Chains A and B, each alone.
Chain A
């Protein structure tokens, strides 16, 4: 037990002393409020260094970069901050630091609570429901832009729109975006751009502190956004906390530039889309043409076009078969008819003979009657005939000539019945009983006229 007091008396090394102090300090976690007096936040640093003070004391602070970023606070000199952390020692320099775990603007806690309460209220009213979110027009013709007319945000948006989709007309409502008047001005601006024909509204502002962005947590603005007749895209600051305007908007973009990108297609994309449509269309038409070509080829290749006789092949065969049947059918029927005919012939001959015999007997009988009757008749007619013949002989000119009369004909062969028919000097032929005399007319004596034969001259 003697060794212990002895050891306690032995002096510590510097490192041991600092470790002792560090251990004692780090057990103590405190929350405090102070005014920022110095700030050193540089990109390469692993931590943000600053000093807070009040009237009687100042305190160096450090906050690891990841924690600082997460806090969302941008430190500025004169800012009143509330922070929670613990004291620690930086041994190499013997400096005491306050290691900040979390940081917020003093009084901001109340504001945040108000905003969170409002968000909850609006959520319960359904203003943030995903099914309420409207799709943006694919190719807007008119874009409403509601933002401050000053600062980088408006130009970021205009430049992005110009780069991506210069075809869109922009209607701009340049309004104050900070302070008490901002919510009302933003609402008026939204109405103005919608009235001007905007098909989508971009509600944007550049980065700022939580307090700066408070107008975008306004209840009236939230309701105006939710009731806006066209979709609303927000691009509000670089604030990691989402504003209520963001929550009720149809599309929430993280920055003004991102909001502009969300609102319009990229002309390059559309050109690519047009090129794709062009290729697709040409390919489809070509394919259809090829299909039709193949169809025509297939038809051309069909046997019927190579050998048109095929068209009639079936019919020709049918015809052959029918002809064959016909050839076989006709003689058969002729034979049949001939047999029928022959039988008719036999029957007819039999009947005919019977009939003929009957007629023959009748005819024979009638013949006999006729013969006997005929003979009787002939006797009468015979006598009559003989009488008529002798009378006919008497009347014949030849008979007259026989009795000594002559028949004179002039050289024209006409009977001479008048001296006029045979003028003096002409030759006449005189028919007598046994021949013809040729005589010249030497004179003519006219008989005494008893009557005048009037003739036409």
Chain B
């Protein structure tokens, strides 16, 4: 019952780590080979949704830097490297 409730959490509300942990849990449960076929298929469906969301987050990820103290000097060469990489 607890699992069902947990699985009801919308994926977009999960952190990357939580989604990852849930995915691992699903794989482990499937591996235990103790699930009813219906539960397995439901788990698989959820797992696929988690996978899609996780991959999507990796694809969309952009580094975010918050400077709390001091003044960060921009690294021109780094920007150049990035630009070159994007063009390549």
Contacts and interface: CB of A to CB of B under 8 A. Distances in A.
A170 B64 contact: yes
A264 to B, nearest CB: 11
B63 A175 contact: no
B72 A149 contact: yes
Given A175-B69, A175-B70, A282-B44, A141 B62 contact: no
A193 B68 contact: yes
- For chain A, the bracket of interface size reads 35 or more
B55 A274 contact: yes
B8 interface: no
B1 interface: no
A398 B73 CA distance: 166
A280 interface: yes
A170 B69 contact: no
Given A155-B75, A281-B27, A288-B40, A171 B15 contact: no
Contacts of B69: 172-175, 188-189, 192
Interface string B58-88: 1001111111111111010010010000000
A161 interface: yes
Contacts of B16: 139, 141, 167
Interface in B11-61: 15-17, 20, 23-24, 26-27, 30-31, 33, 35, 37, 40-41, 44, 47-48, 51, 54-55, 57-58, 61
Contacts of B26: 281
B17 A137 contact: yes
A173 B65 CA distance: 10
A169 B61 contact: no
B72 A172 contact: yes
A192 B23 CA distance: 33
A161 B62 CA distance: 11
Nearest to A154: B72
B78 A172 contact: no
B51 A285 contact: no
B27 A277 contact: yes
B77 to A, nearest CB: 8
A284 interface: yes
Nearest to A151: B73
B15 A277 contact: no
Q: In this complex, which of A139, A150, A271 has the most chain B Cβ atoms within 10 angstroms of its Cβ?
A: A139
Interface in A21-61: none
A289 B70 CA distance: 59
A122 interface: no
A284 B31 contact: yes
A69 interface: no
A2 B21 CA distance: 97
A414 interface: no
A288 B70 contact: no
Contacts of B35: 288
5 contacts: A141-B16, A158-B63, A166-B63, A173-B70, A284-B33
Interface of B: 15-17, 20, 23-24, 26-27, 30-31, 33, 35, 37, 40-41, 44, 47-48, 51, 54-55, 57-58, 61-73, 75, 78, 81
Interface of A: 137-139, 141, 148-150, 154-155, 158-159, 161-162, 165-175, 188-189, 192-193, 196, 267, 270-271, 274, 277-278, 280-282, 284-285, 288-289, 292
